[in-house]
A = this chain, B = another copy of it.
């Protein structure tokens, strides 16, 4: 009557290298979730760094505009980043990076550029490369980043 009358007890799992495979997949999901969580703070410090370079200071109104988000969201997030000692600011004043924040920002900036360069070298348009990199950059392992760098260098030399 109901669409399924399947048993509620577990079938014995296919017993090849199954356990390892399962574990690897669960790890992949967990890793991805962890990276998603770190994404916001990486984006914020990177953006603050950009703004300081471009106009000498970072202000929440500009951050909100660039992120495509309300200023309230920015306010809430930067409070959290301050608690984590990545940034520092006084009420109604501009935002600055702590040394810790600055080093994170620099790492992110480098990685971001590498991903963009890689995608471009692969033949992706500047526009798409910029958009995709924003999503991808937080999920590339050191190993993959290295392979990307190698490819970019070769491709440039070759052409």
Q: Which residues of A line the B interface, CB within 8 A?
A: 2-6, 8, 10-11, 13-14, 22, 24-32, 35-36, 39, 43, 54-57, 59, 61-62, 65-69, 88-90, 92-94, 96, 119, 122-125, 127-136, 138-141, 143-144, 147-148, 150-151
Contact = CB atoms under 8 A, between A and B. Distances in A.
B135 A31 contact: yes
B131 A4 contact: no
B43 A29 contact: yes
Contacts of A88: 3
B148 A122 contact: yes
A114 B81 CA distance: 36
> For the complex, would chain A's binding face be called helix, strand, loop or mixed by DSSP majority?
helix
A18 B39 CA distance: 25
Copies of this chain present: 2
Contacts of A128: 141, 143-144
Given A59-B10, A130-B28, A139-B132, A2 B119 contact: no
Contact of A139 (B14, B55, B90, B136): B136
Given A59-B10, A67-B29, A3 B132 contact: no
A16 B111 CA distance: 26
Contacts of A35: 135
